[in-house]
């Protein structure tokens, strides 16, 4: 008797493999939403963990649900509860039992575990095998994964953002000239979320004029009304280093890594050095990247993996990690101080040189008090009171002006120093209702310039970060770059 050549397809269609496919969906969905920030290689290990989790549940439930249909459905019910436990719990608390927010942890967990247990009991007692249901769920799982994978593949093949970025990089406004033999050293310090001085006065009720006066005494001009075009770091830094606004749907990361400023200075004989935050501000032409070492750091320092864990039933791991000063606070404190500790050695390197430093502070986590001491762990990400941001802001201000004074003192010739923020104070991104900040406020940026031989009277108090290098290249390198319109 001849065997049915399509029998294996029927058996496969009836096998409840949807539980394993659904386990991949949260990872692929998160990756697709952050595809410009997360590399494919960085995401792949999380897929292996997702499959292992589904397999563990499959084996663990075999004694309670011997039938494959019921067991697969039980795994399917548990997976969303595991992956999205935190948002589901918060939503249920807010909608049905808001008074339980201050109750014992037992009631918090019972909020979801009791209904979940009830569903599993119903599946166990049901007379149905759920094998027919499995066919439908298999098709749904395949469709969802196909949608995400297709989006990922199309992004890699037809990457509109990268194409638009390359078009911007190809536009060349420079006049060609002989490379500078001994141009001034250029230092550009980008302080993440460093609020403008009037924002500190109006939002935080703090007079920071002593900081401004100390910079002015060192020869800095402060653009007191400067505004950036963006409230987000990648686009803001890309605009600064390419001296123009970033076109819509452009790969900001690529624009930073291959930026026009670095290319122009490299062509004019400059050695490039940078202090990148991750790979975002690592310039391709840099002679050396001063990365902060992460070899011994927890996987939770990776934003992608931390987000996966933070949403899941394992969210206490993130909370405990944040409360552990030895692993969390020490890391971010050392990361912020890394730039200030290494700069004196770079000053002594022969020039001309361009140094780009992205200091991820006073952006949260708030790990410093105003004197540089350790902040209390429970306030590392606390936006309920603005004083925790202010404390860190004041310390970073002091370290920044001290660093500027060191550069000026140790440099063989007067250098160009740029101190600016990527954007203004934004408040909490995860919980914006805690500290509502107008969009206009978020674009108020701090900008201070030390330009030897350039009269302050020619600088505008509303100078845009986009025009900083246009001013520098025009004056020191004989260019004739038109200034861009100020942000609206």
188: which strand partners?
356, 418
Question: What pLDDT shows up at residue 162?
Answer: 72
Q: What is the pTM of this model?
A: 0.79
Task: Report the chain's mean pLDDT, rounded to a whole number.
Answer: 86
Question: Among residues 240, 447, 250, which one has the least CA distance to residue 356?
Answer: 240
350 CB burial (10 A radius; 0-12, 13-18, 19+):
exposed
Question: What pLDDT shows up at residue 108?
Answer: 57
Question: What pLDDT shows up at residue 1?
Answer: 46
Q: Where are the domains of the chain?
A: 7-158, 172-476
* CATH code reported for the domain at 172-476: 3.40.720.10
Rounded Cα distance, 319 and 330, in Å: 16
| Residue segments in the chain with a per-residue pLDDT below the cut of 50 | 1-2, 102, 104
Rounded Cα distance, 247 and 239, in Å: 10
């Amino acid at each position: 008797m001849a065997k049915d050549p399509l029998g294996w397809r029927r058996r496969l269609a009836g096998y409840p493999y949807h539980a394993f496919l659904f386990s991949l969906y949260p990872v692929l969905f998160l990756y697709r939403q952050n595809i410009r920030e997360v590399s494919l290689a960085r995401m792949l290990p999380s897929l292996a963990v997702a499959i292992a989790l589904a397999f563990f549940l499959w084996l663990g439930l075999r004694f309670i649900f011997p039938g494959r249909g019921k067991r697969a459905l039980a795994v399917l019910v548990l997976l969303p509860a595991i992956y999205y436990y935190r948002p589901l719990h918060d939503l249920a608390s807010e909608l049905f039992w808001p008074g339980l927010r201050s109750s014992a942890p037992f009631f918090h967990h019972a909020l979801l575990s009791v209904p979940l247990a009830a569903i599993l009991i119903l599946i166990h007692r049901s007379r149905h095998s759920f094998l027919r249901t499995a066919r439908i769920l298999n098709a749904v799982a395949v469709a969802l994964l196909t949608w995400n994978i297709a989006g990922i593949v199309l992004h890699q093949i037809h990457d509109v953002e990268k194409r638009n970025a390359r078009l911007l990089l190809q536009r060349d406004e420079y006049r060609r000239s002989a490379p500078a033999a001994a141009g001034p050293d250029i230092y550009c310090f980008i302080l993440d979320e460093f609020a403008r001085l009037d924002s500190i006065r109006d939002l935080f009720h703090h007079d920071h004029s002593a900081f401004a006066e100390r910079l002015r005494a060192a020869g800095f001009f402060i653009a007191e009304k400067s505004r950036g075009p963006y409230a987000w770091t990648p686009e803001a830094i890309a605009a600064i280093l390419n001296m123009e606004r970033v076109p819509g749907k452009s790969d900001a990361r690529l624009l930073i890594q291959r930026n026009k400023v670095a290319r122009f200075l490299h062509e004019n004989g400059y050695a490039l050095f940078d202090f990148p935050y991750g790979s975002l501000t690592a310039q391709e032409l840099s002679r050396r990247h001063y990365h902060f070492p992460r070899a011994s750091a927890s996987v939770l320092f990776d934003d992608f993996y931390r987000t996966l864990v933070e949403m899941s039933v394992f969210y206490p791991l993130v909370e405990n990690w944040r409360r552990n000063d030895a692993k969390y606070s020490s890391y971010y404190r050392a990361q912020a101080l890394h730039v200030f500790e290494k700069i004196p050695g770079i000053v002594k390197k022969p020039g001309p040189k361009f140094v780009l430093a992205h200091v991820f502070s006073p952006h949260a986590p708030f790990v410093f008090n105003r004197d540089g001491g350790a902040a209390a762990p429970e306030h590392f990400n606390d936006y309920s009171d603005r004083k925790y941001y202010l404390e860190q802001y004041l310390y970073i201000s002091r370290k920044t002006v001290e660093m500027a004074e060191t550069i000026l003192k140790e440099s063989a010739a007067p250098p160009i120093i740029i101190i600016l923020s990527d954007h203004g104070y934004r408040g909490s991104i995860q919980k914006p209702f805690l500290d509502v900040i107008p969009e206009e406020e978020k674009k108020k940026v701090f900008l201070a310039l030390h330009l030897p031989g350039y009269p302050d009277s020619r600088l505008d108090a509303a100078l845009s970060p986009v025009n900083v290098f246009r001013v520098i290249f025009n004056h020191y390198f004989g260019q004739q770059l038109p200034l861009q319109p100020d942000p609206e």
